[in-house]
Amino acid sequence: AQRVTQPEKLLSVFKGAPVELKCNYSYSGSPELFWYVQYSRQRLQLLLRHISRESIKGFTADLNKGETSFHLKKPFAQEEDSAMYYCALSGSGGGADGLTFGKGTHLIIQP
């Protein structure tokens, strides 16, 4: 079974400080990994996916298959980054497990 673990429920950093949101996964095949974000009173939306290898709003995430991790990083946090962040995994086995999400990390950027 596929599983996503986000060890931090809450992460609070000061504006301008680096941010790293941790995500580890368990999957026997080749997964596709995503980060989704939910800003206050808004819909859950895609932030980035590992196959795109792009930086969105200054965030990057590298898939490390050896460590089965997909940590989300940003060098300088901004107040508007405060939100709930969910790591998600989609397996390659035909979609029966759907998109599996972690429990989420609430990121708070303090001024």
Residue closer to other proteins, measured from CB, 49 or 71: 49
Which 8-state DSSP code applies to residue 79? Answer: G
Q: Closest by alpha carbon to 14, among 83, 84, 85, 79?
A: 79
State yes or no: residue 27 binds other proteins (CB under 8 A). Answer: no
Q: How many angstroms separate the Cα of 71 from the Cα of each of 3, 4, 24, 31, 85?
A: 15, 12, 8, 15, 11
Min dist. Cβ of residue 42 to other proteins (A): 9
| Contacting residue, 16, 17, 46, 110, with other proteins by CB under 8 A | 46
Residues at the contact surface with other proteins, assessed by CB under 8 A: 6, 9, 32, 34, 36, 43-46, 49, 86, 90, 92, 94-104
